[in-house]
Amino acid sequence: MVKVNAAKPLAPAMPQSESHLGVHDLLRRFDAQRIVVVGDIMLDEYWMGIVERISPEAPVPVVAVQSQDAKLGGATNVAQNIRSLGGDVITVGIIGSDRAGGLVQSRMTEQGMSIEGLLVDQSRPTTLKTRIVAHSQQVVRADFETIEPISSAQTQQLATNCLKALSNAAGLVISDYGKGVIQRGLLEQIVPAARAQGKFVVVDPKDTHFNSYKHVTTLTPNHHEAGFVAGRRVRDDESLRSVGFELLDRLEADTLLITLGEQGMALFEPNRRLTRIPTVAKTVYDVTGAGDTVVATVAMTLAAGGSMLQAAYTANVAAGEVIKEVGTAQTTVTAIKRALDELHEPDLRVI
Protein backbone atom coordinates (compact mmCIF):
# COMPACT_ATOMS: atom_id res chain seq x y z
CA MET A 1 0.00 0.00 0.00
CA VAL A 2 1.18 3.50 -0.77
CA LYS A 3 0.86 5.84 2.19
CA VAL A 4 0.10 9.37 1.06
CA ASN A 5 0.74 12.30 3.35
CA ALA A 6 -1.99 14.85 3.93
CA ALA A 7 -1.83 17.75 1.49
CA LYS A 8 -4.00 20.80 1.08
CA PRO A 9 -5.85 21.01 -2.25
CA LEU A 10 -5.20 23.96 -4.46
CA ALA A 11 -8.05 26.43 -4.78
CA PRO A 12 -9.78 25.58 -7.01
CA ALA A 13 -8.69 21.90 -6.96
CA MET A 14 -9.73 21.50 -10.60
CA PRO A 15 -10.43 24.23 -13.16
CA GLN A 16 -14.16 24.61 -13.84
CA SER A 17 -13.69 23.47 -17.43
CA GLU A 18 -12.35 20.17 -16.07
CA SER A 19 -15.01 19.59 -13.40
CA HIS A 20 -17.72 16.91 -13.44
CA LEU A 21 -19.57 18.98 -16.04
CA GLY A 22 -16.56 18.99 -18.34
CA VAL A 23 -16.28 15.21 -18.11
CA HIS A 24 -20.00 14.76 -18.85
CA ASP A 25 -19.51 16.80 -22.02
CA LEU A 26 -16.60 14.61 -23.07
CA LEU A 27 -18.56 11.41 -22.42
CA ARG A 28 -21.16 12.56 -24.93
CA ARG A 29 -18.41 12.63 -27.57
CA PHE A 30 -17.24 9.05 -26.98
CA ASP A 31 -19.52 7.62 -29.67
CA ALA A 32 -17.72 6.58 -32.86
CA GLN A 33 -14.23 7.54 -31.68
CA ARG A 34 -11.87 5.12 -33.39
CA ILE A 35 -8.81 3.71 -31.59
CA VAL A 36 -6.13 1.25 -32.72
CA VAL A 37 -5.05 -1.31 -30.10
CA VAL A 38 -1.90 -3.37 -30.60
CA GLY A 39 -0.54 -5.93 -28.18
CA ASP A 40 -0.75 -9.36 -26.64
CA ILE A 41 -4.07 -11.10 -27.28
CA MET A 42 -5.40 -13.47 -24.67
CA LEU A 43 -8.41 -15.55 -23.77
CA ASP A 44 -9.55 -15.70 -20.14
CA GLU A 45 -11.38 -18.95 -19.44
CA TYR A 46 -13.39 -19.63 -16.27
CA TRP A 47 -14.52 -23.00 -14.92
CA MET A 48 -16.92 -22.35 -12.04
CA GLY A 49 -18.28 -24.78 -9.52
CA ILE A 50 -18.42 -25.91 -5.91
CA VAL A 51 -16.19 -27.88 -3.54
CA GLU A 52 -17.71 -30.59 -1.37
CA ARG A 53 -14.75 -32.88 -0.77
CA ILE A 54 -10.97 -33.23 -0.85
CA SER A 55 -9.37 -35.44 -3.48
CA PRO A 56 -8.29 -38.91 -2.27
CA GLU A 57 -5.32 -38.64 -4.67
CA ALA A 58 -3.77 -35.49 -3.19
CA PRO A 59 -4.60 -32.87 -0.53
CA VAL A 60 -6.45 -30.64 -2.99
CA PRO A 61 -10.12 -29.67 -3.34
CA VAL A 62 -12.26 -31.37 -5.96
CA VAL A 63 -14.18 -28.74 -7.89
CA ALA A 64 -17.46 -29.95 -9.34
CA VAL A 65 -17.64 -27.72 -12.42
CA GLN A 66 -21.12 -26.31 -13.00
CA SER A 67 -20.47 -23.74 -15.72
CA GLN A 68 -17.82 -22.48 -18.09
CA ASP A 69 -17.18 -19.13 -19.70
CA ALA A 70 -14.53 -17.58 -21.93
CA LYS A 71 -13.79 -13.85 -22.13
CA LEU A 72 -11.48 -11.70 -24.18
CA GLY A 73 -8.31 -10.76 -22.32
CA GLY A 74 -5.13 -8.73 -22.74
CA ALA A 75 -5.21 -6.39 -25.72
CA THR A 76 -8.64 -7.68 -26.72
CA ASN A 77 -10.02 -6.75 -23.30
CA VAL A 78 -8.74 -3.22 -23.90
CA ALA A 79 -10.55 -3.29 -27.25
CA GLN A 80 -13.67 -4.64 -25.58
CA ASN A 81 -13.57 -1.78 -23.06
CA ILE A 82 -13.36 0.73 -25.90
CA ARG A 83 -16.37 -0.89 -27.58
CA SER A 84 -18.29 -0.85 -24.29
CA LEU A 85 -17.62 2.89 -24.03
CA GLY A 86 -19.11 3.43 -27.47
CA GLY A 87 -15.92 3.57 -29.50
CA ASP A 88 -14.83 1.82 -32.67
CA VAL A 89 -11.66 -0.26 -32.39
CA ILE A 90 -9.16 -1.99 -34.65
CA THR A 91 -7.16 -4.68 -32.84
CA VAL A 92 -3.72 -5.70 -34.09
CA GLY A 93 -2.02 -8.81 -32.72
CA ILE A 94 -1.34 -12.53 -33.08
CA ILE A 95 -3.38 -15.61 -32.25
CA GLY A 96 -2.73 -19.30 -32.78
CA SER A 97 -4.57 -21.71 -35.05
CA ASP A 98 -6.24 -23.39 -32.08
CA ARG A 99 -9.48 -23.57 -30.08
CA ALA A 100 -8.61 -20.48 -28.04
CA GLY A 101 -7.78 -18.50 -31.18
CA GLY A 102 -11.10 -19.49 -32.70
CA LEU A 103 -12.92 -18.35 -29.56
CA VAL A 104 -11.10 -15.01 -29.65
CA GLN A 105 -12.26 -14.45 -33.22
CA SER A 106 -15.85 -15.45 -32.50
CA ARG A 107 -16.05 -13.30 -29.36
CA MET A 108 -14.66 -10.31 -31.26
CA THR A 109 -17.10 -10.82 -34.13
CA GLU A 110 -20.04 -11.14 -31.71
CA GLN A 111 -19.16 -7.73 -30.29
CA GLY A 112 -18.83 -6.04 -33.64
CA MET A 113 -15.03 -5.85 -33.61
CA SER A 114 -12.98 -6.30 -36.74
CA ILE A 115 -10.59 -9.26 -36.89
CA GLU A 116 -8.74 -7.98 -39.96
CA GLY A 117 -5.76 -6.81 -37.90
CA LEU A 118 -5.11 -10.28 -36.48
CA LEU A 119 -2.35 -12.58 -37.70
CA VAL A 120 -2.72 -16.34 -37.28
CA ASP A 121 0.47 -18.22 -36.41
CA GLN A 122 0.23 -21.98 -36.99
CA SER A 123 3.14 -22.69 -34.64
CA ARG A 124 2.24 -20.34 -31.78
CA PRO A 125 -0.48 -21.01 -29.19
CA THR A 126 -3.04 -18.37 -28.35
CA THR A 127 -2.34 -17.18 -24.81
CA LEU A 128 -4.97 -18.90 -22.67
CA LYS A 129 -5.49 -18.41 -18.93
CA THR A 130 -7.82 -20.98 -17.42
CA ARG A 131 -9.11 -20.17 -13.95
CA ILE A 132 -10.93 -22.70 -11.79
CA VAL A 133 -13.25 -20.87 -9.41
CA ALA A 134 -15.21 -22.37 -6.49
CA HIS A 135 -17.65 -20.36 -4.36
CA SER A 136 -16.40 -17.11 -6.00
CA GLN A 137 -12.82 -17.95 -4.96
CA GLN A 138 -10.12 -18.75 -7.51
CA VAL A 139 -8.63 -22.15 -6.69
CA VAL A 140 -5.94 -22.40 -9.37
CA ARG A 141 -4.97 -20.89 -12.73
CA ALA A 142 -3.39 -22.75 -15.64
CA ASP A 143 -1.57 -20.73 -18.34
CA PHE A 144 -1.04 -22.00 -21.90
CA GLU A 145 1.33 -19.66 -23.73
CA THR A 146 4.69 -18.83 -25.17
CA ILE A 147 6.59 -15.62 -24.45
CA GLU A 148 9.05 -16.00 -27.32
CA PRO A 149 9.39 -12.80 -29.38
CA ILE A 150 7.52 -12.84 -32.67
CA SER A 151 9.55 -13.03 -35.89
CA SER A 152 10.83 -10.00 -37.76
CA ALA A 153 8.43 -10.76 -40.61
CA GLN A 154 5.49 -10.82 -38.19
CA THR A 155 6.72 -7.61 -36.57
CA GLN A 156 6.75 -5.92 -39.96
CA GLN A 157 3.26 -7.18 -40.79
CA LEU A 158 1.87 -5.92 -37.47
CA ALA A 159 3.53 -2.54 -38.03
CA THR A 160 1.96 -2.35 -41.48
CA ASN A 161 -1.47 -3.23 -40.04
CA CYS A 162 -1.07 -0.58 -37.33
CA LEU A 163 -0.04 2.18 -39.67
CA LYS A 164 -2.85 1.38 -42.10
CA ALA A 165 -5.42 1.45 -39.30
CA LEU A 166 -4.01 4.67 -37.78
CA SER A 167 -4.79 6.68 -40.90
CA ASN A 168 -8.45 6.54 -39.88
CA ALA A 169 -8.10 6.62 -36.08
CA ALA A 170 -7.69 9.17 -33.29
CA GLY A 171 -4.83 7.37 -31.60
CA LEU A 172 -2.99 4.23 -30.61
CA VAL A 173 -3.05 2.05 -27.49
CA ILE A 174 -0.14 -0.32 -26.82
CA SER A 175 -1.14 -3.18 -24.52
CA ASP A 176 2.03 -4.98 -23.43
CA TYR A 177 1.66 -8.16 -21.37
CA GLY A 178 5.15 -9.43 -22.16
CA LYS A 179 3.98 -12.31 -24.37
CA GLY A 180 6.27 -11.55 -27.30
CA VAL A 181 4.33 -9.14 -29.52
CA ILE A 182 5.58 -5.77 -28.27
CA GLN A 183 9.26 -5.44 -29.17
CA ARG A 184 11.60 -2.50 -29.76
CA GLY A 185 11.48 -3.06 -33.54
CA LEU A 186 7.70 -2.66 -33.56
CA LEU A 187 7.70 0.37 -31.25
CA GLU A 188 10.35 2.13 -33.33
CA GLN A 189 8.03 2.00 -36.33
CA ILE A 190 4.60 2.72 -34.89
CA VAL A 191 5.25 5.29 -32.14
CA PRO A 192 7.09 7.92 -34.25
CA ALA A 193 4.61 7.42 -37.09
CA ALA A 194 1.64 7.98 -34.81
CA ARG A 195 3.13 11.08 -33.19
CA ALA A 196 4.12 12.49 -36.60
CA GLN A 197 0.45 12.25 -37.59
CA GLY A 198 -0.60 14.11 -34.44
CA LYS A 199 -2.11 10.95 -32.91
CA PHE A 200 -1.84 10.13 -29.20
CA VAL A 201 -0.03 7.00 -28.00
CA VAL A 202 -1.16 5.48 -24.70
CA VAL A 203 0.88 2.61 -23.25
CA ASP A 204 -0.07 -0.04 -20.70
CA PRO A 205 3.55 -1.05 -20.09
CA LYS A 206 5.50 -4.13 -19.11
CA ASP A 207 8.45 -3.31 -16.86
CA THR A 208 10.91 -5.35 -18.93
CA HIS A 209 10.31 -3.11 -21.97
CA PHE A 210 10.04 0.18 -20.11
CA ASN A 211 12.98 1.97 -21.69
CA SER A 212 11.58 1.35 -25.18
CA TYR A 213 8.44 3.46 -24.63
CA LYS A 214 9.98 6.80 -25.56
CA HIS A 215 8.13 9.95 -26.64
CA VAL A 216 4.63 8.57 -26.00
CA THR A 217 1.65 10.59 -24.81
CA THR A 218 1.31 8.70 -21.54
CA LEU A 219 2.06 5.42 -19.77
CA THR A 220 -0.07 3.78 -17.08
CA PRO A 221 2.18 1.58 -14.88
CA ASN A 222 1.13 0.58 -11.39
CA HIS A 223 3.32 1.74 -8.51
CA HIS A 224 5.03 -1.66 -8.19
CA GLU A 225 6.10 -1.58 -11.86
CA ALA A 226 7.20 2.06 -11.65
CA GLY A 227 9.22 1.43 -8.50
CA PHE A 228 10.86 -1.67 -9.98
CA VAL A 229 11.98 0.21 -13.08
CA ALA A 230 13.30 3.13 -11.01
CA GLY A 231 15.09 0.78 -8.62
CA ARG A 232 13.25 1.78 -5.42
CA ARG A 233 9.87 1.27 -3.85
CA VAL A 234 7.10 3.81 -3.84
CA ARG A 235 6.38 4.23 -0.12
CA ASP A 236 5.20 7.81 0.37
CA ASP A 237 4.72 11.15 -1.37
CA GLU A 238 8.44 11.82 -1.59
CA SER A 239 9.34 8.51 -3.23
CA LEU A 240 6.27 8.72 -5.47
CA ARG A 241 7.36 12.13 -6.76
CA SER A 242 10.97 11.02 -7.21
CA VAL A 243 10.09 7.81 -9.10
CA GLY A 244 7.43 9.41 -11.27
CA PHE A 245 9.43 12.37 -12.50
CA GLU A 246 12.56 10.26 -13.02
CA LEU A 247 10.61 7.96 -15.36
CA LEU A 248 8.88 10.87 -17.09
CA ASP A 249 12.25 12.49 -17.82
CA ARG A 250 13.90 9.22 -18.84
CA LEU A 251 11.20 8.42 -21.40
CA GLU A 252 10.64 12.03 -22.52
CA ALA A 253 6.92 11.28 -22.41
CA ASP A 254 4.21 13.94 -22.37
CA THR A 255 2.77 12.59 -19.10
CA LEU A 256 2.89 9.60 -16.77
CA LEU A 257 -0.09 8.12 -14.91
CA ILE A 258 0.84 5.80 -12.03
CA THR A 259 -1.98 3.71 -10.59
CA LEU A 260 -1.84 3.26 -6.81
CA GLY A 261 -4.38 0.52 -6.14
CA GLU A 262 -6.78 1.50 -3.36
CA GLN A 263 -5.01 4.86 -3.12
CA GLY A 264 -6.15 6.00 -6.58
CA MET A 265 -3.80 7.46 -9.20
CA ALA A 266 -1.03 10.01 -9.62
CA LEU A 267 -0.62 12.12 -12.76
CA PHE A 268 2.85 13.51 -13.56
CA GLU A 269 3.19 16.39 -16.02
CA PRO A 270 6.36 18.02 -17.43
CA ASN A 271 5.72 21.30 -15.60
CA ARG A 272 6.50 19.36 -12.39
CA ARG A 273 2.85 19.22 -11.45
CA LEU A 274 1.93 16.02 -9.62
CA THR A 275 -1.80 15.55 -9.10
CA ARG A 276 -3.17 12.87 -6.78
CA ILE A 277 -6.57 11.47 -7.74
CA PRO A 278 -8.16 9.56 -4.84
CA THR A 279 -9.98 6.30 -5.52
CA VAL A 280 -13.75 6.37 -5.81
CA ALA A 281 -14.26 2.61 -5.37
CA LYS A 282 -16.37 1.64 -2.36
CA THR A 283 -16.41 -2.11 -3.04
CA VAL A 284 -13.61 -4.23 -4.48
CA TYR A 285 -14.31 -7.79 -5.64
CA ASP A 286 -11.70 -8.33 -8.36
CA VAL A 287 -9.05 -6.04 -9.86
CA THR A 288 -8.53 -8.36 -12.86
CA GLY A 289 -8.57 -6.24 -16.02
CA ALA A 290 -8.84 -2.90 -14.21
CA GLY A 291 -5.67 -1.71 -15.94
CA ASP A 292 -7.27 -2.45 -19.30
CA THR A 293 -10.24 -0.28 -18.34
CA VAL A 294 -7.90 2.54 -17.30
CA VAL A 295 -5.94 2.59 -20.55
CA ALA A 296 -9.11 2.29 -22.67
CA THR A 297 -10.85 5.14 -20.83
CA VAL A 298 -7.78 7.37 -21.03
CA ALA A 299 -7.63 6.77 -24.79
CA MET A 300 -11.33 7.45 -25.30
CA THR A 301 -11.19 10.67 -23.29
CA LEU A 302 -8.20 11.93 -25.27
CA ALA A 303 -9.93 10.96 -28.52
CA ALA A 304 -12.95 13.02 -27.43
CA GLY A 305 -10.71 16.07 -27.02
CA GLY A 306 -10.13 15.92 -23.26
CA SER A 307 -7.01 16.90 -21.36
CA MET A 308 -4.81 14.34 -19.67
CA LEU A 309 -6.17 15.43 -16.28
CA GLN A 310 -9.72 14.80 -17.46
CA ALA A 311 -8.63 11.45 -18.92
CA ALA A 312 -7.03 10.35 -15.65
CA TYR A 313 -10.03 11.43 -13.60
CA THR A 314 -12.51 9.67 -15.89
CA ALA A 315 -10.37 6.50 -15.94
CA ASN A 316 -10.28 6.50 -12.14
CA VAL A 317 -14.09 6.55 -12.02
CA ALA A 318 -14.32 3.82 -14.69
CA ALA A 319 -11.88 1.58 -12.82
CA GLY A 320 -13.99 1.99 -9.68
CA GLU A 321 -16.91 0.50 -11.59
CA VAL A 322 -15.20 -2.60 -13.05
CA ILE A 323 -13.55 -3.77 -9.83
CA LYS A 324 -17.04 -4.37 -8.44
CA GLU A 325 -17.28 -7.37 -10.78
CA VAL A 326 -15.58 -10.78 -10.67
CA GLY A 327 -13.24 -11.41 -13.62
CA THR A 328 -12.46 -9.15 -16.52
CA ALA A 329 -15.27 -6.63 -16.88
CA GLN A 330 -16.13 -3.48 -18.79
CA THR A 331 -18.05 -0.36 -17.93
CA THR A 332 -20.23 1.97 -19.97
CA VAL A 333 -20.70 5.69 -20.43
CA THR A 334 -24.03 5.40 -18.60
CA ALA A 335 -22.36 3.76 -15.59
CA ILE A 336 -19.62 6.40 -15.50
CA LYS A 337 -22.18 9.20 -15.65
CA ARG A 338 -24.13 7.61 -12.82
CA ALA A 339 -20.97 7.26 -10.72
CA LEU A 340 -20.05 10.89 -11.40
CA ASP A 341 -23.50 12.02 -10.28
CA GLU A 342 -23.03 10.18 -6.98
CA LEU A 343 -19.70 11.88 -6.30
CA HIS A 344 -18.92 15.30 -4.93
CA GLU A 345 -16.71 17.60 -6.94
CA PRO A 346 -13.18 16.14 -7.41
CA ASP A 347 -10.92 16.32 -4.36
CA LEU A 348 -7.75 16.41 -6.44
CA ARG A 349 -4.57 17.27 -4.60
CA VAL A 350 -1.31 18.66 -5.90
CA ILE A 351 1.66 17.43 -3.88
- pLDDT exceeds cutoff 90 at 264: no
For each of the domains in the chain, give its residue range(s) and CATH number, in order of start.
16-41+73-119+146-350 (3.40.1190.20)
- pLDDT exceeds cutoff 80 at 346: no
- For residue 345, what pLDDT is reported? 64
- pLDDT exceeds cutoff 50 at 183: yes
Give just the sign of the alpha carbon dihedral 225, 202, 21, 24: negative
Q: How many CB atoms lie within 10 A of CB 179?
A: 23
Average pLDDT over residues 314-342: 78
pLDDT, averaged across the chain: 88
Known catalytic residue: 98? no
31-40 pLDDT, tens digit each? 989 999 999 9
Q: Residues 191, 218: contact at Cβ < 8 Å?
A: no
- For residue 327, what pLDDT is reported? 52
Of the chain, the percentage scoring pLDDT greater than 70 comes to 88
- For residue 3, what pLDDT is reported? 43
Torsion, Cα of 96, 98, 101, 106 (10° steps): 150
- For residue 323, what pLDDT is reported? 57
Average pLDDT over residues 105-118: 94
291-307 pLDDT, tens digit each? 899 999 999 999 999 99
DSSP string, 43-76: EEEEEEEEEEEE-SSSSSEEEEEEEEEEEEEEHH
pTM reported for the whole predicted model? 0.89
Which of the residues 236, 292, 341, 347 is marked catalytic? 292
Compute the distance between CA of residue 328 and CA of residue 288 in angstroms, rounded to an integer: 5
Average pLDDT over residues 312-332: 75
Q: How confident is the model at residue 324 (pLDDT cuts 50, 70, 90)?
A: low
